């Protein structure tokens, strides 16, 4: 397994739309293993393939305390959502930036698992937030895109200043 470099906002590759996985082969299985290792090492509780510059509809999530409950979502589709929740979000592609984002409280998501079997999952709470956050990535969106233009400008300026300092 390998650690993969995570794209940083405002990298334009984060805006690319991921394409469906047509065949679950060894390359997809290796991508999932590398994404999982990268997520755990970051550390994070989710990671979308877009963030590691692979524009395929693959997401890994583990919201468990013990970090022993890896969920793999291939070609995920949210079929239903209900309710509303607002929570503080961060993003491995936008380090050091946190902001409140409004999400659906509950989602029903259909996806393919690593065995190619179609699954459906009813999720709420943090898992529902994470699924929505990762599916935004697959659609070329980061959580900053949900914020006001003023906040987005301030975040871009802050990250640009950070980049100059660390260059
Ligand atoms: O996509 C990512 O960057 C992974 C996010 C997923 C996430 C964002 C907001 C809310 C829930 C999940 C990272 O895991 S952000 C870092 C993090 C770590 C532990 C708990 C919450 C967020
Ligand atoms: Zn993110």
pLDDT digits (tens, 9 = 90+) for 64-110: 999 999 999 999 999 999 999 999 999 999 999 999 999 999 999 99
For residue 103, the cross-strand partners are 85
- From the list 25, 18, 75, the residue with the least C-alpha distance to 52 is 18
Question: What is the predicted pLDDT for the residue at 45?
Answer: 98
Q: How far apart are CA 16 and CA 22, in angstroms?
A: 18
CA of 26 to the centre of ligand 1 (A): 27
Instruction: State whether the beta carbon of 7 lies less than 6 angstroms from ligand 1.
Output: no
What is the chain written as a DSSP string? Answer: ----PPP-TT-GGGGPPPBPP----HHHHHHHHHHHHHHHHTT-SEEEGGGGT--BSEEEE---TTS---EEEEEEEEEEEES-EEEEE--TTSTT--EEEEE-SEEEEEEE-TTS-EEEEEEEHHHHHHHHHHHHHHTT--GGGGS-HHHHHHHHHHHHHHHHHH-
Task: Identify whether the C-beta of residue 144 lies closer than 8 Å to the C-beta of residue 89.
Answer: no
CA of 19 to the centre of ligand 1 (A): 22
Q: Which of 90, 95, 98 to mutate to test the pocket of ligand 1 (most atoms within 8 A of CB)?
A: 90
Question: What is the predicted pLDDT for the residue at 94?
Answer: 95
What is the homologous superfamily of the domain 12-166 according to CATH? Peptide deformylase (3.90.45.10)
Question: What is the predicted pLDDT for the residue at 36?
Answer: 98
- From the list 131, 22, 141, the residue with the least C-alpha distance to 71 is 131
Which ligand 1 atom minimizes the distance to the CA of 90? 15
Instruction: State whether the beta carbon of 136 lies less than 6 angstroms from ligand 1.
Output: no
Structural domain spans, the chain = 12-166
CA of 91 to the centre of ligand 1 (A): 5
Query: ∠ CA 2-24-34 to the nearest 5 degrees?
Result: 10
Question: What is the predicted pLDDT for the residue at 16?
Answer: 98
- Reading the chain (167 residues) residue by residue, the pLDDT tens digits are 899 999 999 999 999 999 999 999 999 999 999 999 999 999 999 999 999 999 999 999 999 999 999 999 999 999 999 999 999 999 999 999 999 999 999 999 999 999 999 999 999 999 999 999 999 999 999 999 999 999 999 999 998 898 888 77
| Look-up of token digits 């994070």 | 44
Instruction: State whether the beta carbon of 44 lies less than 6 angstroms from ligand 1.
Output: yes
Q: How far apart are CA 165 and CA 167, in angstroms?
A: 6
What values do phi and psi take at 21, rounded to 5? -80, 125
Residue nearest to atom 17 of ligand 1 (CA): 44
């Amino acid at each position: 397994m390998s650690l993969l470099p995570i794209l940083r906002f405002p990298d334009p590759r984060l805006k690319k739309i991921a394409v469906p996985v047509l065949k679950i082969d060894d390359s997809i299985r290796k991508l999932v293993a590398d994404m999982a290792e990268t997520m755990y090492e970051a550390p994070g509780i989710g990671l979308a393939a877009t963030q590691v510059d692979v524009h395929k509809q693959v997401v890994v999530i583990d919201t468990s305390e013990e970090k022993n409950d890896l969920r793999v979502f291939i070609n995920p589709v949210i079929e239903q959502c209900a309710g509303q929740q607002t929570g503080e979000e961060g993003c491995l592609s936008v380090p050091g930036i946190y902001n409140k984002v409004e999400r659906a409280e509950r989602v029903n998501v259909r996806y393919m698992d690593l065995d190619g079997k179609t699954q459906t999952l009813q999720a709420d709470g943090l898992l529902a937030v994470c699924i929505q956050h990762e599916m935004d990535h697959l659609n070329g969106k980061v959580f900053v895109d949900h914020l006001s233009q003023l906040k987005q400008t301030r975040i871009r300026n802050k990250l640009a200043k950070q980049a100059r300092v660390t260059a």
